[in-house]
Amino acid sequence: MIINWGELTPQRFLSEYWQKKPLLIKKGMVDEFEHQFIDPLDANELAGLAMEEEIQSRIISHKNESDWSVEHGPFEHFDQYGEQDWTLLVQATNNWSAETNELLKPFNFIPSWRLDDVMVSFSTPGGGVGAHLDQYDVFIIQGEGKRHWQVALPDDSLVNLLPHPDLKQVSEITPVIDVITESGDILYIPPNHAHKGTAIENSLNYSVGFQAPSAQELWSAFADKLLDQDLATARFADPNRQPTKNPNVMSDADKQALKQFMLKELDNEAVFNDFVSSYLTKNHHQLDIVEPEDEITPQQLSKLVEQQLVSIEPVLGLKSHLNQDKTKVYINGDSFELCPKTQFLAIHLANNEPLHPEILPSLTACLKNNQLLTRVINMGYWYILD
């Protein structure tokens, strides 16, 4: 799949629209060869995922604008919901469907650490979740069927509604985009732009969400790192203390000194870089990670590659990052030390590029590569495919 930008470019999109204003790109997502959008899965396959315990799913239905119901999966049956006014939403479908995961490639102009997931929804006529706000950027790709979308600009006068404990909505919106989307259309919606989508006919939608961490989340996770790794244990010191006239008043100078004392930990580049690389590669959704029953050794891996045509592939949805000096690669929050001999392999790992039989023999001829590969295999992040 590719994005048919028309007169736009990724650079112009980021400059004019990203986190600024919504955008509709008609026939924006197309197959490179078929020149049309091809659904990566159908409603039955999506329903099958919603039956799995480890996959987060919901069904939202309504009888009228004030009577809403929310049910959480896994689900066993769907017949009871009828033929209209309900929608099935499955989170992180890209972690379980290789075809859905391919939808991410056209968005590679945005760094992967900003990615949250691809949520897929199936809606019957009248189905939707009502007018609501999201705190993340989302590209909504229309699959089969048609949907009526309304998107508004940020509006402080909107009233928060809670028609169900698990469903947040807002009051009636004044749309600046009011369209019916068809297969392949892309609707980009920035954070805090209220929107409402209602299916006109049975339809599939693919929501590629990019969620940034909050300052609260970052500070909390950074504090956890300092505690877990027993860092920042030095105590505040004030060897140049001057007499105070009032011991019960904290001076601005003391406050600033304490502030700088705390910020000093953020300025520790090694600690901060390790923290942010680890935190932002940790997937917040369940992955299909299965650790092998019997761990493989570097020697066994080398022998296997010599004797069989095998590939080594990453699990779907894996987030990885190679630091700029190529001394560490981060995979799902875990860090792996590198040496010059493992840097080429680390590039493949960071890019989640399958290791095919054409390159595996040369890679596994190096013990350091074998040691790194067996670690990620034994942790279940990568697996052997024969």
What integer is the mean pLDDT of 374-380?
97
Same fold, 2-210 and 298-385: no
Tens digit of each residue's pLDDT (9 = 90 or more) over 288-297: 999 999 999 9
SS3 state at 336: strand
pLDDT for residue 33 is more than 90: no
Rounded Cα–Cα distance for residues 148 and 137 (Å): 19
Looking at domain 2-210, which of 2.40.110.10, 3.40.50.300, 1.25.40.10, 2.60.120.650 is its CATH number? Answer: 2.60.120.650
The per-residue pLDDT for 307 is 86
Distance CA 123, CA 89 (A): 9
For residue 204, the SS3 value is strand
**Residue 308, pLDDT score:** 84
Kindly report, residue by residue over 351-375, the tens digit of the pLDDT: 999 999 999 998 988 999 999 999 9
* Arithmetic mean of pLDDT, 66-94: 95
pLDDT of residue 66: 81
Beta bridge partners of 175: 152
pLDDT of residue 103: 96
Residue 34 predicted with pLDDT over 80: no
The model's pTM? 0.91
Predicted local distance difference test score (pLDDT) of residue 13: 98
29-30 and 67-72 as β-strands: parallel, antiparallel, unpaired? unpaired
Q: How confident is the model at residue 324 (pLDDT cuts 50, 70, 90)?
A: confident
Instruction: For CA atoms 289, 293, 295, 296, give the dihedral sign.
Output: negative
Residue 309 clears pLDDT 90, i.e. is over it: no
Q: What are phi and psi of 382, to 5 degrees?
A: -125, 155
What pLDDT shows up at residue 379?
97
Please give the average per-residue pLDDT across 322-332, as a whole number.
93
Mean pLDDT, residues 72-81? 94
Q: What is the mean pLDDT of the chain?
A: 94
pLDDT, one tens digit per residue, over 93-152 is 999 999 999 999 999 999 999 999 999 999 999 999 999 999 999 999 999 999 999 999
Residue 159 in this model has a pLDDT that exceeds 80? yes
For the chain, the structural domain boundaries read 2-210, 215-236+250-267, 298-385
Q: Considering the domain 298-385, what is its CATH architecture?
A: 3-Layer(aba) Sandwich (3.40)
So what's the pLDDT on residue 53? 95
| Residue 376 pLDDT grade (very low, low, confident, very high; cuts 50, 70, 90) | very high
Residue 32 pLDDT class (50, 70, 90 cuts): confident
Percent of the chain with pLDDT over 90: 89
Q: Averaged over 56-84, what is the pLDDT?
A: 93
CB contact set of 13 (below 8 Å; sequence gap of 6+):
5, 23, 188
pLDDT at residue 150, rounded to an integer: 98
Write the pLDDT tens digit of every residue in 170-229. 999 999 999 999 999 999 999 999 999 999 999 999 999 998 899 999 999 999 999 999
Cis peptide before 340 (omega within 30 of 0): no
**Overall average pLDDT of the 3-26 stretch:** 96
